[in-house]
Amino acid sequence: MRHNLGFPRIGTKRRLKFALEKYWRGDTSEDELLQRAADVRAANWRAQLEAGMDLVPVGDFSLYDHVLDMSVTLGHVPSRFAGDGSSLDRYFRMARGRSQRGAPAQALEMTKWFDTNYHYLVPELESSTTFALDPTRLLSQIDEARAVVAEHAGGTGTAGSHEHAGGTSTAGGHEHAGGTGTAGSHQHAAEPSHSERRDRAGGATPAVKPVILGPASYLYLAKAKGPEVDKLSFLAPLLTEYRKLLDALDEKNVEWVQIDEPILALDLTREWRGAIRLVYEVLKSSRAKLLLTTYFGELRENFDTVLALPVDGLHIDAVRGSEELDGVFAGFPRDKVLSVGAIDGRNVWKADLDAIVARLEPEYDVRGEKLWVAPSCSLLHVPVDLELESKLDPEIADWLAFAKQKLEEVDTVATALAEGRAAVAGELRANRRANERRRASGRTGDAAVGRRVHSIEPSMLRRHAPYSERRRKQREQLKLPDFPTTTIGSFPQTPEIRAARRAHRKGEMSREQYTEFLRGQIAHAIEQQEKIGIDVLVHGEAERNDMVEYFGEQLSGYAFTQHGWVQSFGSRCVKPPIIYGDVSRPAPMTVDWITHAQSLTDRPVKGMLTGPITMMQWAFVRDDQPRSTTAYQIALALRDEVSDLEGAGIRAIQVDEPALREGLPLRRSDWEPYLAYATEAFRIATAVARDETQIHTHMCYAEFNDIIESIALLDADVITIETSRSDMELLDAFTDFEYPNEIGPGVYDIHSPNVPEVEDMVRLMELAAARIPSERLWVNPDCGLKTRTWEEVIPSLRNMVEAAKRLREKSVRRGAA
């Protein structure tokens, strides 16, 4: 049995993103948005069926976030979102604070989904919280999926099916009529598609498999709003709704339900492990079969608990949990389904199919059809289709697999197990040769980079003077007021900027014309900031398409896609670069743009760089060397850039590390090695700066309490963090630790289109001042402003500057008193 845990919900070429944003602008109706969403779902199911899947997931699709979807399904909606508008308007108000109708409201807090770059919306648990099941969304999507399955089973092909006769292959070896070959191609005229091969083998008609977030994970990932709120006190009423949901699915004649419990990859207390046992004792009465699904890591101390649960099947991550595979084989009952997540759902490299088949064959001989094959986790975290990449270097494309190709790998493994390797000899041979070509390629190594990494010395990790001395020198040079204001880096990426970028890439705008256009955009950003009264300016990043991709395009060892988009949150998508080789900086990357911006103003303009861990974490990283080695390579490249910016007269340089917490291993026992190289990489990049140069960094939504010592070890002069949705609670970590340097807690949520009120920002900063001495506080937004419009940004920043002025006035009055 081959199945999938989840498919990229954004659709081919970001179809869902554009549909959502048109709706939010008021350019389309609710019915039109829902129809576009249904079209994306149908295309996703067809792609999975064509790849040969026997079970296709339903409920993995979301208009914004799957955790938010679970909240709505459970009727878990905070009271502030009641009011006018449809259920869809309420949904978007929960997600982003505003929709087409209904009063604006503070959106749900957002944070990272485990150690990925995906963000989920955090459920809120209050003493008054209740649940009331509404399974309409999931039930209706089951009907949609069954219609697509029936169409596929009854036809001779489906939209998006591959043509195989008479063509030559693309990277990965699939034949396409009339196509041209790329590296790694091989010919196999008239070879059946994955779905055709399954049908010829007498496989059953594919079925649908609802996907739900399990109750233990849902509660664990929620936020208790108040010290008196105990998360586990909600378990009994929550289980009542889950039982109703499973009953509703049973009434739809669903055979299998995928119930995700990703917290099983975390360090859980005895209390939480007991809660998990209780959950599945209660839910075992369900007539629908439960496939308990774990991913993102090993089970470790949760191992015995999981293997003893009364479920019908278990999915394990055999990529990140490969060391436990033999134990699972030995300990999990053989009369139950065991799903092995053998294909990496988190990275884009081709799997070693020979090795996977060899590992699974002995267990298949024992378990037979009870052994299922799947990706390690949802394919939400990888791009949709490698075949869209017509401009990607063919040699590198030969090494890769995106979501569709990963499902084909699943099918190849499952077919090899069920029918023997001869049935897929061509696929196995093509995979083997592609991996051999990658290992033999001379493009992955650079001896000069290797020598430089080996020459790193402890002195390269230390600033000349401690922060207390640097602060004095920086104050003298920058001449900033109390509560200085700044922004995080980017300003709106307007339609004009995007159009100019497209025109330049198409050759419709010369390099000189494009440069002049961008200089004009930078001048506009500087002018607006000066009018508003910002203290430390930024150039606005008009020249940058993405904070990682922009730098990667100028570094060796990085490759880029046209359509390799991955969802970060809502309609926000990123296009992670691919680190395939050793990294170095051939030439300065930002100096010309920043020095031009600085020439337009007497106020300091920050140099803006993306830090080494984020440059790595937000890319698809090579898997043939330690990640620490890649981090040090990037750090040395950034060190050169910091030195050049400083040499050009830039007095403040921001090196963003929003992914530092995200990269933290899920298990505490694995933290020390990661935090050691992560902090070292940041210091390698920044410690070259003189004492007078103010080093800033920025971090996104995360829990900082458990890594606050490592954040202090970064020794940044100023750190800005996202805190507005948490009502400054995230600052408690800095207070308890007595963080010594300066902090800019975000005073307004840039992910919402709402313009913040002055009074609200003053209130938030006063909460901050109760935790951090006011002389060490900065005033800034939560994050960069590229996704907002100037019509939103200008009044928001005006209000922010006014809030800073009021804070200074209050501070003066307190001092006089």
Rounded to an integer, what distance in angstroms lies between the CA atom of residue 62 and that of residue 121?
12
What secondary structure does DSSP assign to 140-169, as a single string?
A: HHHHHHHHHHHHHHHSS--TTPPP-TT-EE
Which whole-number Å values give the CA distances from 400 to 397, 579, 596, 710, in the listed order?
Answer: 5, 12, 39, 35
Q: What is the CA radius of gyration of the chain?
A: 27
Buried b (16+ CB within 10 A) or exposed e, 777-808: bbbbbbbbbbbbeeebbbebbebbbebbbbbb
The residues facing 742 across adjacent strands are 718
Whether 751 sits among the annotated catalytic residues: the reply is yes
At position 248, the amino acid (one-letter code) is A
Q: Which of 152, 563, 698, 751 is catalytic?
A: 751
Q: In 3-state terms, what secondary structure has residue 523? A: helix
Distance between CA 228 and CA 213 in Å, rounded?
25
Q: Classify 2 as helix, strand or coil.
A: strand
3-state secondary structure of 372: strand
DSSP 276-297: HHHHHHHHTT-SSEEEEE--SS
Which one-letter amino acid corresponds to residue 288?
Answer: A
Query: Helices 403-419 and 353-367, interaxial angle, to 10°?
Result: 50
> Which residues, in sequence order, are CB contacts of 699 under 8 Å at separation 6+?
657, 658, 660, 661, 711, 719, 720, 721, 722
Q: Are 782 and 773 in contact (CB under 8 A)?
A: no
CA dist list (Å): 176 to 160, 408, 430, 435: 12, 15, 16, 22
Is the CB of residue 483 less than 8 Å from the CB of residue 807?
A: yes
Under 8 Å CB-to-CB from 602, ≥6 apart: which residues?
Answer: none
What letter represents residue 569's amino acid?
Answer: F
Q: How far apart are CA 347 and CA 758, in angstroms?
A: 44
Report d(CA 490, CA 544) in Å as an integer.
Answer: 9
Which of 316, 320, 344, 319 lies closest to 331 in space, CA to CA?
Answer: 316
566, 574 contact by CB (below 8 A) = yes
Q: Could you write out the three-class secondary structure of 296-317? A: CCCCHHHHHHHHCCCCCEEEEE
- Residue 183 has φ and ψ, to the nearest 5°, of -50, 135
- Phi and psi dihedrals of 23, rounded to 5? -65, -45
Give the DSSP H or E segment for 340: strand 337-343
3-state secondary structure 387-421: HHCCCCCHHHHCCECCHHHHHHHHHHHHHHHHHCH
Beta carbons of 432 and 439 less than 8 angstroms apart:
no
Catalytic residues: 751
